[in-house]
């Protein structure tokens, strides 16, 4: 009998983990993170408001100068 060689399969390592990690966060740490996110959003919102008010005042001043000169 003639022995046949078996097919050689190429080893391909797994790209991602097979098991998912449990994403546990300490409740105090989670609350601190949420507090920082709220403060960050509030700061961004206030920054946009101040910028928009500044633009409005600038536009009003330009219209005033145009009205006075003509």
**Per-residue tens of pLDDT for the chain, all 70 residues:** 566 777 888 888 777 666 777 788 899 999 999 999 999 999 999 999 999 999 999 999 999 999 999 8
- Domain coordinates of the chain in residue numbers? 38-70
Alpha-carbon gap, residue 30 to 56, rounded angstroms: 39
Return the pLDDT at 58: 98
- The pTM of the whole model exceeds 0.75: no
Which is nearest to 38 in space by CA: 28, 49, 46? Answer: 46
SS3 state of residue 23: coil
Alpha-carbon gap, residue 50 to 70, rounded angstroms: 31
Phi-psi domain of 25 (left: phi exceeds 0; alpha: psi -120 through 50; beta: other): beta
Alpha-carbon gap, residue 39 to 33, rounded angstroms: 10
Return the pLDDT at 44: 96
């Amino acid at each position: 009998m003639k022995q046949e060689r078996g097919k050689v399969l190429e080893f391909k390592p797994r790209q991602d983990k097979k098991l998912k990690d449990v994403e546990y966060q300490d409740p105090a740490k989670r609350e601190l993170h949420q507090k920082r996110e709220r403060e960050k959003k509030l700061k961004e919102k206030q920054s946009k408001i101040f910028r928009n008010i500044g633009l409005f005042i600038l536009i009003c001043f330009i219209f005033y100068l145009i009205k006075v000169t003509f």
